[in-house]
Amino acid sequence: MQDKPDITPPPLRNDCFALPAGVDWTPVDDALTTLRQRLTPVTGVQEVQVADAEGLVLAQDVQALRSNPPLPNTAVDGYGFARGRPDGAHVLPLIQGRAAAGLPFEGKVPDGSALRVLTGAALPDGVDTVILEEDVKVQDGHIAFRGPLKTGANTRKAGEDLCQGALALPRQRRLTPADLALLSAVGVASVPVRTKLRVAILSTGDELVDPGQTAGPGQIYDANRPMLLSLMRRMGFAPVDMGRVPDDRDALRQRLNQVAERADAIVTSGGASAGDEDHVSALLRQAGAMQEWRIALKPGRPLALGMWDGTPVFGLPGNPVAALVCTLIFARPALGLMAGEGWCEPQAFQVPAAFEKRKKPGRREYLRARIRDGRAEVFHSEGSGRISGLSWAEGLVEIEDGARHIQPGDPVRFIPFASFWP
Ligand code: AMP
Ligand code: MG
């Protein structure tokens, strides 16, 4: 038997999975604060029809051009007259005619008389109160009903929803279907919006092949690119597919040069650490505009952030789980700022845990999770290569930076994936 070389393995420390002493790991919140302070909108502004504006970001505050409702009107089908009535029985003569939505009653309703009114009709002169038709008996040209009925009952005031000139929607708002209703209701036909942020997606790694190709031994399919492209689309950005490049510095440099012309931001996956084949970080470092972000985060460190010819690059780790988490936690709010929508915080919920977990202090953790029966379940494995767990999950459980021993029933912070996009 050949003699083994006399190499002493490095001593295993008790806390070998704890963070290295003396190394500055940036807490997640500090990293986010930095992004928030440094990034500003980069997209242009264009005017679009309201009907085409869903999912786009308002570039300016939008004021109501008209009050909603424009005139006082009736909220129900019934009978209108002046002033409320006290307790007891009341009989009022009905006058000829009616007021309907879009078909106002032109005359004046004499004091003490009532008029047939239909939902949405502008209140005629002499009417400020409406009784519901179900509460009325009509006979011999009169209506009879029981009080009490307050003055103004069953009516809507002009502008009670929104007054002309009031702020309808603020700049930075990503427009929802309901926003299109609001804008239309207050007379706004077109709005100034930001052009979509173009985000280039690029995979790196010698081992990658595209789905559909033959994969040799040791090769794997590029799983990140379709995921990241679709994430960008969901978040309201315009994804630009820049394919994949091998672990080759010249090829990567060329591709980054092409990308920088076609995109407002570049998101790469793989090659972001400080290893021999980590060319994204190496190139960015060479370009002199690279921040290696050693973030106290699991899964996901490190992240290479840099500028390539003026275009921000988010160098994500290659692990699909880490790539997704880093995209949601860092790239999403950063890109949102660049897209002009301000700083977006995902909506999180406190829910009881359906699991037990001990966590050491030092870094924030994100677990693949979903809610069942009102409790947060986590995926059975924390392995960051387990893509099936990403697909299983419907959100993330976020565990704070400090130590924690979570027991079933304890409150945990759950962030649905859907909180990360509009
Ligand atoms: P890296 O960050 O380049 O060191 O890659 C970390 C791990 O993620 C390695 O196991 C890679 O093979 C894997 N990986 C990198 N890029 C991708 C990708 N696009 N799809 C799936 N796995 C990837
Ligand atoms: Mg790699």
**Where along the chain do the CATH 3.90.105.10 domains lie?**
45-65+166-194
Q: 277 in ligand 1 pocket by Cβ < 6 Å?
A: no
Mean pLDDT for 116-130 is 98
Tell me which of 221, 244, 269, 316 to substitute to probe ligand 1's pocket, judged by most ligand atoms within 8 Å of the beta carbon: 269
Measuring from atom 23 of ligand 1, which residue has the nearest CA?
318
Cα 2 to averaged position of ligand 2 atoms, centre (Å): 34
pLDDT tens digits for range 310-319: 888 999 999 9
Closest residue by Cα to residue 191 from 290, 77, 394, 53: 53
Its CATH class, for the domain covering 45-65+166-194, is alpha beta
pLDDT band of 14, cuts 50, 70, 90? very low
pLDDT band of 418, cuts 50, 70, 90? very high
Report, at the CATH architecture level, how domain 349-420 is classified.
Beta Barrel (2.40)
Q: 274 in ligand 1 pocket by Cβ < 6 Å?
A: no
Mean pLDDT for 255-259 is 92
Mean pLDDT for 239-244 is 96
Q: Which atom of ligand 1 is found nearest the CA of 204?
A: 16
CATH topology assigned to domain 28-42+196-338: Molybdenum Cofactor Biosythetic Enzyme; Chain A (3.40.980)
Q: Rounded to an integer, what distance in angstroms lies between the CA atom of residue 102 and that of residue 154?
A: 18
pTM score of the predicted model? 0.88
| Cα separations in angstroms, 291 against 101, 165, 252, 285, 311 | 62, 46, 18, 8, 14
CATH numeric code, 73-156: 2.170.190.11
pLDDT tens digits for range 336-362: 999 999 999 999 999 999 999 999 998
Which residues have CB under 8 Å from 136's CB, separation 6+?
78, 79, 143, 144, 145
